[in-house]
Amino acid sequence: MILARGLVRLLSFVLLVVLALLGLAVVALAVAPTGAAKLFGLAQLRDSVGSWFDALAADGPVALASALAGAGAVLLGLTLLAGLLVPRRERLVRLDTTGHGTLSARRRALGQIAGHLTEQVRGVSGSHAKVKPRRRGGGRLAVRADRPRTTSGAEIESAVKSQLESLTGPFKLKARVQTRLGERGSRVQ
C-alpha cells in the first residue's frame, strides 16, 4: 500500500509537469501560431504522423488496439486521481459508540500496549504485537512472545492471555499468542 501510494505521487508529479509543459506549448501556439508551428516543426509532424492517424480512424485491429490503449490510459488516469484525492482511511479499533461520538484507539498504540503487557509476564524475554481491526468493531490481536528454554510455551501462553485480558475484553479483541525460544542476546529474566 505504501509503495503504491508513493508510485502514485511520483507519477502524478511527472504527469503534472508534462501537462504544464503542454499547456505552455498551447499558449505559445495561441499567441503566435505561425512562429510556434515553425518552432515545433508541426508541418513536418503532420506529414509524418498523418497516415497513422488515418489508420486509427479506419476499422480493424489497429483501431481496436488503440481504443483499448485509450481506455487503459483513462483508467490509469482515474486511478492516479483517486490515489491523490481519496484520503487514506485510518484503521481504528472501536471501544464504544454513543450518541455523542465514538471512542476508538489506533492500531499501533494498542499493539504497543499489548507488547508492554506481554513483557511484564514472568518468563517472557521479548514480544511483538500486531492489531488488525474488524470493520464492525473488535479485531484480532496477534502476539509473539519470546521465552527462555527453561519455561514451557503453554505456561507462557496462558499467562500472556490472562495478562492481556484487561486489553482484549473492552476492545473485543481476539488474542492469538505464539511463543518461541528467544534468540541469543535476548534479555534475561
Domains and CATH numbers, the chain: 2-85 (no CATH), 92-181 (3.30.360.10)
Of residues 33 and 19, more confidently modeled: 19
Task: Name the residue type at position 72.
Answer: G
Of residues 46 and 74, more confidently modeled: 74
Q: Which H or E element spans position 141?
A: strand 139-147
Residue 40 clears pLDDT 60, i.e. is over it: yes
Q: What pLDDT does residue 52 have?
A: 72
Measure the CA angle with vertex 55, ends 52 and 59; round to 5°.
160
